[in-house]
């Protein structure tokens, strides 16, 4: 293990992160000088740690191996969550709540324990949204574009961070790809901000919500979220951009170069559209037949919520917890699937689900013809066996972690079975909003401290695609070669 | 497909069913029950069906390939579910869908009931109910050994090379011999339990019914309140012990009989199974001790009985676990999914599959650390082939998908999410009592007819381990091209 390199890279991450915190610091300077310390101290701490680690350690020794890559990702994520908690803590929130909010932000979950948001000052609200945006982008991705010398080995970081199965390289050099993705992501955020602004939000509202939507996070600066605006244009924009944010960003770049038809040649994207279409329709029928809404608002509410769950954002248009159980169950299942790989969504991801479904069809075929040789293709290319077995294992691990998390939540949180299952699923897939107690993202305030800790661990596991974090627990990981 | 032999075998099965119906008929006549007529008509119907099948079928070409195997198994379950439902329906005990539900629940050894007041039902009818369990159980053991190895995802294939082997004609005598040995064990266990229960103070009638129900890991009782009715630690202990026993691999008992007790400790699955029972009992007893106000002894007693009942997928109830804390209920639901050992009459995913899945999950983690490492999964010291591993991964995924799909269908009938999840989890793994509306103290009677059909499908899918039934919906299965 090349400890020096790992520490150097951690330093880089922390430094960049500290730089980002300057933004809310500036805001406090402009708005309310008394609040300066809340951001000033964390900025000082992160920049000091960052400088010590980057300047004090010579980074050019050795290469970045797989284990180092994983350690950089997981460790970096944890450090950032801990440093990101400081502004909330200094603002007077209990330690666990502050950490929870930070973890929830950086994992783009969007579960909130701060309670009444109208009591918070603007800089803190901005920081909240910014954590999601940064988390969504993957601090690692920013970092790679800034550190071109890492070069080829960065691919491992990339596959660790964006673990979805289509992590293919767009351009020969991974750093180029990363830069492009960052531009795409930032440009996307700007577009959403401008559109929100044009639709009637003020600039501060627009930028906060844009960050939450593009990162599929789910934080809002109002207690009632997007409902606050009572503006159909805004709602429709939110729906469209949540949908886009749930798609593969690499694919968007490809379609930009090769034409829009490229989008629909992609198996995963088609499956994503079909899934949303089918579940949206099912929920529409259920809502309409139970006389919940008029036909048009049934359609709107159902698709809004379907897309919100599927893209793991967690925004809500209405109190869906009061919907019929069938609709709630559909939403619950959508949380497991999530959106496409190569985006900021959590969950099992469409590409894996498609491969698993194809695998099942194949198994039935092979049951009839036991000696048949079969292959599975995605977008016309054969999926290697190694990858397939990895996916089935991932599925098992995912479900097992879900079960453990739900059971523990029921124990330490004194929750009903469905509440616990909802929280576990929502945290693992970085959705945030679930059912019953936590039907709104602010419902997490009512959880016990034990439950908050379990939820936090679940969020981290889900965000880092479980295995990246679990390998650290294996003694082989720390062994010297 | 060789329909003649399929028809012939189904005829045999219907005849066996007609024969079995004579037992409750004799009892009904002896006690002067009102149900005698229903049994007579049912038996005649079965005999008639058997005659029709025999007319059509023939035993000249005895070549049974995989397709015939699947056709016989699936056909057998359909025929027997229908015939088994007749007594309930004809006697007016239940309406048609509920009668079929009760029959499928019986034969699949689920033990989910739609009878709201069991004590008012004629005793001969209750005997038939327990008998369906017992026959379903023994049938499954035999079918399991005889047909499942064909299917590739069969658990037996992996663990007992002695019992299974490839399914060419030459091994048929051995499979039959094994099946007979297994039946002997099955009968021995039933008799032993009946005697012990009789000794513990049950009436003769009750102890026969409960022994049938326990060894088949069914769960039908002769009382509304199930085992709570007796309120006897001794009876709970005996039944608990036999439930755990019935959840073990019968092939393992056979080899223990031949090679000695040390075989138990060589078997990874059995060890894991016992470990699961112990750890779940411990966790639940601590949880209910803390939250429910039971004494230490009571907590242990209730926890052990319920864990044994759920993991063996029996479904007896000695305390209303529906009011237990969510943590305990979660563990019980987890046990429902896991189920007991392969080669038993229990349902669920099976401990062996879970053990292998856990091992490959661990292998995945090691593989991530050392990308070029060749990982090797072993069971009982033997290497598990990649094909088997891949099959298990797919089985797990399919199980979860079917679970989600069936739950969704059930939720569309207006049942709450928790109730739907509980009902499907309990029936796909053939446990029986679930949570909420179909919980420990209530029945499935209130569920809508469509919901009952969904649950029937869940029971059959779970019992036949998914693939047997699912291949039927593939067009290739029905195409008359020859087998590859």
Residues 264-293 of A with CB under 8 A from B: 286
Residue A165: alpha-carbon gap to chain centroid:
16
**Is A33 an interface residue toward B (CB < 8 Å)?**
no
Q: Identify all chain B residues contacting A329, using CB atoms and an 8 Å cutoff.
A: 407-408, 411, 417, 420
Whether pLDDT at B284 is above 90: yes
Contact between A463 and A406 under an 8 Å Cβ cutoff? The reply is no
As a whole-number percent, the residues of chain A with pLDDT over 70 amount to 89
Q: Identify all chain B residues contacting A367, using CB atoms and an 8 Å cutoff.
A: 66, 151-153, 467, 471
Give me chain A's average pLDDT, please.
83
Task: Tell me which residue in A329, A357, A371 faces B484 most closely, judged by beta carbons.
Answer: A371
Give me chain B's average pLDDT, please.
83
Residues 165-224 of A with CB under 8 A from B: none
pLDDT-derived band at A169 (thresholds 50, 70, 90) equals very low
Exposed (0-12), middle (13-18) or buried (19+): which is A373, by Cβ within 10 Å?
Answer: exposed
| pLDDT for the residue B160 | 30
Q: Identify all chain A residues contacting B152, using CB atoms and an 8 Å cutoff.
A: 366-367, 370
Interchain proximity A360–B401, CB inside 8 Å: yes
Both tokens of A278, joined, read 């089918």
> B226-243: b or e for each residue (b if 16 or more CB lie within 10 Å)?
bbbbbeeeebbbbbbebb
pLDDT-derived band at B60 (thresholds 50, 70, 90) equals low
Task: Tell me which residue in A66, A67, A407 faces B327 most closely, judged by beta carbons.
Answer: A407
* Radius of gyration over every alpha carbon of chain B, rounded to an integer in angstroms: 22
DSSP for B311-365, please give it: HTT----SS-GGGS-HHHHHHHHHHHHH-S-TTSS--SS-HHHHHHHHHHHHHHH
Asked if the structure places residue A404 within a domain, the reply is yes
Nearest to A129 by CA among A19, A245, A242, A20: A20
Whether pLDDT at A443 is above 50: yes
Give, rounded to a whole angstrom, the gap between the first and last alpha carbons of chain A: 8
Whether pLDDT at A49 is above 80: yes
Task: State pLDDT tens for residues B140-175.
Answer: 546 544 443 433 332 233 223 223 222 222 333 456
How many helices, marked H, and strands, marked E, lie in chain A? Answer: 21, 2
| Half-sphere CA count of B376, side-chain side, radius 13 A | 6
| Half-sphere CA count of A275, side-chain side, radius 13 A | 31
Q: Identify all chain A residues contacting B421, using CB atoms and an 8 Å cutoff.
A: 421
Q: Identify all chain A residues contacting B327, using CB atoms and an 8 Å cutoff.
A: 407, 410-411
Both tokens of B250, joined, read 């019968």
Nearest to B59 by CA among B5, B15, B11, B1: B5
pLDDT-derived band at A148 (thresholds 50, 70, 90) equals very low
Q: For Cα atoms A400, A401, A403, give the angle at the middle one, nearest 5 degrees.
A: 65
Asked if the structure places residue A15 within a domain, the reply is no
The residue behind tokens 């550190």 is A147
Nearest to B426 by CA among B334, B340, B342: B334
| pLDDT for the residue B175 | 60
Q: Identify all chain A residues contacting B66, using CB atoms and an 8 Å cutoff.
A: 367-368, 370
Interchain proximity B327–A410, CB inside 8 Å: yes
Asked if the structure places residue A461 within a domain, the reply is yes
Q: How many CB pairs under 8 A join A and B?
A: 148
What is the nearest CA distance from B368 to chain A, expressed in angstroms?
7
| B378: β partners | B383
Q: What is the SS3 assignment for B252-268?
A: HHHHHHHHCCHHHHHCH
What is the nearest CA distance from A340 to chain B, expressed in angstroms?
19
* A119-123, B221-225, B408-412: range with highest mean pLDDT: B408-412
Best residue in B67, B389, B394, B450 for a mutation probing chain A (most A CBs within 10 Å):
B394
pLDDT-derived band at B260 (thresholds 50, 70, 90) equals confident
| pLDDT for the residue A64 | 65
What is the nearest CA distance from B33 to chain A, expressed in angstroms?
44
What average pLDDT does range A426-450 have in this prediction?
84
What average pLDDT does range B63-82 have in this prediction?
77
What average pLDDT does range A274-297 have in this prediction?
92
| B286: β partners | none
| pLDDT for the residue B9 | 76
Residues 360-419 of A with CB under 8 A from B: 360, 363-372, 388-390, 392-397, 399-400, 403, 406-407, 410-411, 414-418
pLDDT-derived band at A291 (thresholds 50, 70, 90) equals confident
CA distance B174 to A386: 38
Asked if the structure places residue A113 within a domain, the reply is no
pLDDT-derived band at B482 (thresholds 50, 70, 90) equals low
Domain range holding A391?
A: 382-478
Whether pLDDT at A163 is above 60: no
Position with higher pLDDT, B156 vs B390? B390
Contact between B311 and B338 under an 8 Å Cβ cutoff? The reply is yes
CA distance A347 to A275: 14
Asked if the structure places residue A146 within a domain, the reply is no
What is the nearest CA distance from B371 to chain A, expressed in angstroms?
9
Task: Tell me which residue in B389, B397, B470 faces A364 most closely, judged by beta carbons.
Answer: B470
Interchain proximity B334–A364, CB inside 8 Å: no
Q: For Cα atoms A333, A339, A345, give the angle at the middle one, nearest 5 degrees.
A: 105
What average pLDDT does range B435-445 have in this prediction?
81
| pLDDT for the residue A260 | 83
Lowest mean pLDDT among A63-77, B233-247, B432-446: A63-77
| pLDDT for the residue B309 | 93
Position with higher pLDDT, A73 vs B405? B405
Lowest mean pLDDT among B253-257, B274-278, B324-328: B253-257
Whether pLDDT at B386 is above 70: yes
- Dihedral, CA of residue B465, residue B468, residue B473 and residue B475, to nearest 10: 140
Asked if the structure places residue A289 within a domain, the reply is no
Interchain proximity A359–B477, CB inside 8 Å: no
CA distance B363 to B383: 14
Complex confidence, ipTM: 0.89
Task: State pLDDT tens for residues A175-214.
Answer: 676 777 788 889 999 999 999 999 988 999 999 999 999 9
Give how many domains chain A has, as a whole number.
Answer: 1
Asked if the structure places residue A453 within a domain, the reply is yes
Write phi, then psi, for A216 (nearest 5 degrees).
50, 40
Pairing of strands A381-382, B382-383: unpaired
| A381: β partners | A378
Which residue from A minimizes the CA distance to B66?
A368
| pLDDT for the residue B43 | 93
Both tokens of B47, joined, read 């005999």
The kind and range of the H/E element at A378 are: strand A377-378
What average pLDDT does range A208-227 have in this prediction?
89
| pLDDT for the residue A145 | 42
What average pLDDT does range A55-69 have in this prediction?
69
Q: Identify all chain B residues contacting A394, using CB atoms and an 8 Å cutoff.
A: 364
The kind and range of the H/E element at B393 are: helix B386-411
Whether pLDDT at A307 is above 70: yes
Q: Identify all chain A residues contacting B483, using CB atoms and an 8 Å cutoff.
A: 369
Asked if the structure places residue A445 within a domain, the reply is yes
Residues 318-337 of A with CB under 8 A from B: 324-326, 328-330, 332-333
Q: Identify all chain B residues contacting A417, using CB atoms and an 8 Å cutoff.
A: 326, 329-330, 333, 418, 435
Whether pLDDT at B108 is above 70: yes
As a whole-number percent, the residues of chain A with pLDDT over 90 amount to 35
Lowest mean pLDDT among A106-120, A142-156, A399-413: A142-156
> A250-280: b or e for each residue (b if 16 or more CB lie within 10 Å)?
bbbbbbeeeeeebbeebbbbebbeebbeebb
């Amino acid at each position: 293990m090349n400890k020096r390199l790992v520490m150097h890279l951690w330093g880089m991450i922390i430094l960049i992160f500290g730089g980002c915190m300057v933004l809310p610091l500036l805001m406090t300077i402009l708005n309310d000088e008394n609040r300066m310390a809340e951001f000033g101290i964390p900025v000082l701490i992160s920049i000091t740690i960052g400088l010590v680690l980057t300047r004090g350690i010579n980074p050019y020794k050795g290469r970045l191996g797989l284990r180092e890559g994983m350690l950089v990702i997981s460790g970096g994520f944890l450090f950032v969550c801990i440093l990101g908690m400081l502004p909330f803590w200094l603002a007077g929130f209990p330690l666990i709540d502050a950490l929870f909010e930070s973890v929830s932000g950086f994992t783009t979950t969007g579960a909130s324990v701060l309670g009444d948001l109208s009591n918070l000052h603007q800089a803190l609200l901005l920081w909240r949204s910014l954590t999601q945006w940064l988390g969504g982008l993957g601090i690692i991705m920013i970092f790679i574009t800034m550190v071109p010398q890492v070069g080829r080995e960065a691919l491992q970081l990339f596959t660790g961070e964006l673990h979805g199965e289509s992590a293919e390289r767009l351009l020969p050099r991974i750093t180029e790809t990363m830069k492009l993705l960052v531009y795409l992501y930032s440009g996307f955020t700007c577009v959403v901000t401008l559109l929100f602004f044009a639709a009637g939000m003020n600039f501060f509202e627009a930028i906060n919500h844009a960050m939450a939507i593009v990162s599929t996070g789910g934080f809002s600066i109002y207690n009632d979220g997007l409902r606050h605006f009572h503006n159909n244009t805004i709602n429709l924009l939110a729906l469209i951009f949540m949908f886009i944010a749930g798609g593969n960003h690499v694919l968007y770049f490809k379609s930009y170069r090769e034409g829009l038809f490229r989008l629909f040649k992609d198996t995963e994207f088609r499956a994503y559209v079909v899934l949303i279409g089918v579940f949206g329709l099912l929920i529409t029928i259920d809502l309409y037949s139970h006389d919940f809404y008029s036909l048009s608002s049934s359609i709107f509410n159902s698709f809004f919520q379907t897309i919100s769950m599927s893209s793991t954002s967690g925004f809500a248009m209405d109190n869906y917890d009061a919907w019929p159980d069938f609709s709630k169950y559909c939403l619950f299942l959508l949380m497991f699937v999530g959106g496409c790989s190569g985006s900021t969504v959590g969950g099992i991801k469409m590409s894996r689900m498609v491969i698993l479904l194809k695998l099942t069809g194949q198994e039935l075929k092979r049951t009839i013809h036991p000696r048949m040789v079969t292959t599975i293709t995605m977008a016309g290319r054969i999926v290697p066996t190694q990858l397939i077995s990895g996916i089935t294992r991932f599925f098992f691990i995912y479900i097992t972690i879900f079960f453990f998390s739900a059971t523990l939540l029921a124990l330490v949180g004194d929750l009903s079975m469905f509440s616990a299952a909802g929280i576990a699923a929502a945290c693992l897939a970085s959705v945030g909003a679930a059912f019953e107690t936590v039907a709104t993202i602010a419902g997490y305030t009512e959880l016990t401290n034990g439950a908050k800790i379990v939820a936090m661990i679940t969020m981290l596991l889900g965000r880092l695609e479980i295995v990246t974090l679990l390998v650290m627990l294996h003694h082989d990981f720390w062994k010297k070669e | 497909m060789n329909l003649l032999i399929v028809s012939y075998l189904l005829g045999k099965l219907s005849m066996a069913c007609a024969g079995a119906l004579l037992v409750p008929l004799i009892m009904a006549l002896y006690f002067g029950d009102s149900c005698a007529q229903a049994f007579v008509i049912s038996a005649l119907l079965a005999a008639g069906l058997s005659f029709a099948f025999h007319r059509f079928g023939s035993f000249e070409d005895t070549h049974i390939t995989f397709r015939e195997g699947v056709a016989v198994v699936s056909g057998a379950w359909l025929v027997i579910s229908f015939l088994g439902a007749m007594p309930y329906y004809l006697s007016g005990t239940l309406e048609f869908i509920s009668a079929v539900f009760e029959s499928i629940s019986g034969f699949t050894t689920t033990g989910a009931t739609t009878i709201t007041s069991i004590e008012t039902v004629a005793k001969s009818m209750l005997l038939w109910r327990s008998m369906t369990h017992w026959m379903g159980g023994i049938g499954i053991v035999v079918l399991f050994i005889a047909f499942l190895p064909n299917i590739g995802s069969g658990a037996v294939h992996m663990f007992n090379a002695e019992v299974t082997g490839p399914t060419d004609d030459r091994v048929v005598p051995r499979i039959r011999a094994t099946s007979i040995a297994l039946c002997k064990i099955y009968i021995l266990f039933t008799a032993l339990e009946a005697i012990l229960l009789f000794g513990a103070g049950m009436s003769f009638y009750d102890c026969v019914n409960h022994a049938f129900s326990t060894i088949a890991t069914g769960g039908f009782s002769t009382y509304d309140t199930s085992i709570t009715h007796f309120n006897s630690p001794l009876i709970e202990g005996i039944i608990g012990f036999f439930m755990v026993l019935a959840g073990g691999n019968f092939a393992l008992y056979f080899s223990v009989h031949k090679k000695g007790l040390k075989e138990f400790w060589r078997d990874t699955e059995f060890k894991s199974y016992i470990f699961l029972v112990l750890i779940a009992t411990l966790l639940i007893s601590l949880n209910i001790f803390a939250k429910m106000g039971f004494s230490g002894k009571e907590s242990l007693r209730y926890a052990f009985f319920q864990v044994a009942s759920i993991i063996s997928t029996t479904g007896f109830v000695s305390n209303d676990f529906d009011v237990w804390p969510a943590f305990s209920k979660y563990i019980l639901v987890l046990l429902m999914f896991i189920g007991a050992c392969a080669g038993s009459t229990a349902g669920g995913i099976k401990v062996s599959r879970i053990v292998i899945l856990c091992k490959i999950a661990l292998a995945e983690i090691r593989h991530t650390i050392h990308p070029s490492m060749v990982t090797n999964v072993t069971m009982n010291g033997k290497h598990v082939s990649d094909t088997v591993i891949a099959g298990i991964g797919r089985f797990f995924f399919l199980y979860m998908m079917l679970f989600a799909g069936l739950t969704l269908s059930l939720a569309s009938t207006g049942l709450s999410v928790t109730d739907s999840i509980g009902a499907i989890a309990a029936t796909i793994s053939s446990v029986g009592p679930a949570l909420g509306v179909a919980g420990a103290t209530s029945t499935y009677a209130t569920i809508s007819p469509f919901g009952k059909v969904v649950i029937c499908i869940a029971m059959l899918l779970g019992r036949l381990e998914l693939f047997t039934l699912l291949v039927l919906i593939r067009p290739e299965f029905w195409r008359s091209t020859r087998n590859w």
